[in-house]
Amino acid sequence: MLFLRSIVSSEMLDAFAKANGCRCYVTATGFKWLGNKALEVQQQYLLQQQQQQQQQQQQQQQQQDEGLVPVLLYEEALGFGVSRQVRDKDGVGAACVLAAAATMLAAAGSSISSLLLLLQQQHGTYLTHNLSLRLQQQQQQQTLNYIRSNGKYKQNIGKFKISSIKDAAKGIDTAAAAAAAAATATAAAAAAAAAAAAPAAAAPPPPAAAGAAADAAAGAAAGAAATATATTAAAAAAAAAEDKKLGDLIILRMEDNAIIKLRPSGTEPKLKIYAEIAAAAAAAAAAAVEDPLAAAAAQGPAAAAAAAAAALPEVEGKRKLLKDMVDALVAEIHENLNPNKP
């Protein structure tokens, strides 16, 4: 199964999809992008089915069972899409699905709230803090450029450290760049070590042969490093091209795995801020269950409420931390826009 969410929607859906062996695609904001991506994936899937059917009926059946079938579209400000027939926001369809789930749970003595608590135990409690700043277009760009800091990118917001930054419009991800550099260095070091160890394991060769072996080892090391560099560069280029589809969006990855996303509104003179942090999942419930509805019914409301109460101190601590981060960001934005204001 396949889930889709907009870039500003909660990443709890990613965690849920991963835990259940599914994929979650991320698109630009709005159901236009979600619906089109769902149709694109579905068409690719159907084409793959047809090709496999021509090759082997058994393979086609397996792909039908295990293929990527879009089952949920999620946009934080608008709602959900749940139907293969309607690749757009569908409040009626979502209400029907929710009502069916509530009916099944009620018949078993449980509830939607108990199911939510169970999912939070499994995947973490995802907390959000979203707001909009009324800024004109020039002020919005001034704010984004302030974070970009002429390509150096900010390292902190107030007392809070920024771990890495993704600048979608520029195709830059400081975390990916650091990982690519580390991978290239590791590959080069491993190739050099292997090349150096090979001659040492054999009998000492004549001087001329030793020189040739050293040259060959150096060439192998250089070739491995070049291959690693080319591979990581190609992957980075592909990721940057995909990121640019997200529009003028900056993502701040903060300490404690908090994430803050900033983007100009496409319809109003506003800069929108979306912040999210997750409290850890319960260790005993970290693995996904095959049937969450049945598990919620089996757990019962009392046990679910007790588990939620036990997790409350951590959840409230994370909630305060996230709010403090956003408050610090807003204060810096206003200070940058009004440097002379007391």
The tens digit of pLDDT for each residue in 166-184 reads: 999 999 999 877 776 666 6
Separation CA 49–CA 142 (nearest Å) = 49
Give the tokens for residue 227: 């291959």
Give the tokens for residue 207: 């001087």
Separation CA 162–CA 175 (nearest Å) = 11
Residue 82 lies in a domain: no
pLDDT at 323: 97
Residue 209 lies in a domain: yes
Q: Is the pLDDT score of 89 beyond 60?
A: yes
Cβ–Cβ < 8 Å for 35, 57: no
Residue 342 lies in a domain: no
- Among the residue ranges 9-13, 92-96, 242-246, 268-272, the one predicted with the least confidence is 242-246
Residue 275 lies in a domain: no
For tokens 């089915």, the residue is 49
Render the burial of 36-52: b for 16+ CB within 10 Å, e for the rest. ebbeebbeebeeebeeb
Identity of residue 259:
I
CA atoms within 13 A on the CB side of 340: 0
Separation CA 17–CA 77 (nearest Å) = 21
Residue 113 lies in a domain: no
Q: Taking all residues of the chain, what is their mean pLDDT, rounded to a whole number?
A: 82
Closest CA to 111 of 120, 123, 124, 98: 98
Residue 253 lies in a domain: no
Sign of CA dihedral 265, 268, 269, 271: negative
pLDDT single digits (tens) 21-64? 898 999 999 999 999 999 888 888 888 877 777 776 655 555 45
Give the other-Cβ count within 10 Å of 152's Cβ: 7
For tokens 């260095």, the residue is 185
Give the tokens for residue 104: 């099944």
Q: Which domain covers residue 190, as residue numbers?
A: 177-241
pLDDT at 134: 97
Give the tokens for residue 312: 């409350």
- Number of folded domains that form the chain: 1
pLDDT at 303: 76
Can you name the residues that pair with 277 across neighbouring β-strands?
Answer: 127
For residue 272, the surrounding DSSP H or E stretch is: strand 270-279
Cβ contacts of 15 within 8 Å, gap of 6 or more: 123, 124, 126, 278
Residue 118 lies in a domain: no
Task: Taking residues 264-271, report their average pLDDT.
Answer: 92
pLDDT at 280: 80
Cβ–Cβ < 8 Å for 38, 46: no
Write phi, then psi, for 71 (nearest 5 degrees).
-120, -15
Alpha carbon 180 to its chain's center: 18
160: left (phi over 0), alpha (psi -120 to 50) or beta: beta
Separation CA 274–CA 249 (nearest Å) = 11
- By DSSP bridging, strand 2-6 and strand 70-75 are parallel
pLDDT at 263: 96
pLDDT at 154: 95
Cβ contacts of 296 within 8 Å, gap of 6 or more: 105, 110, 114, 115, 117, 118, 304
Separation CA 145–CA 161 (nearest Å) = 18
Task: Taking residues 114-128, report their average pLDDT.
Answer: 89
Residue 317 lies in a domain: no
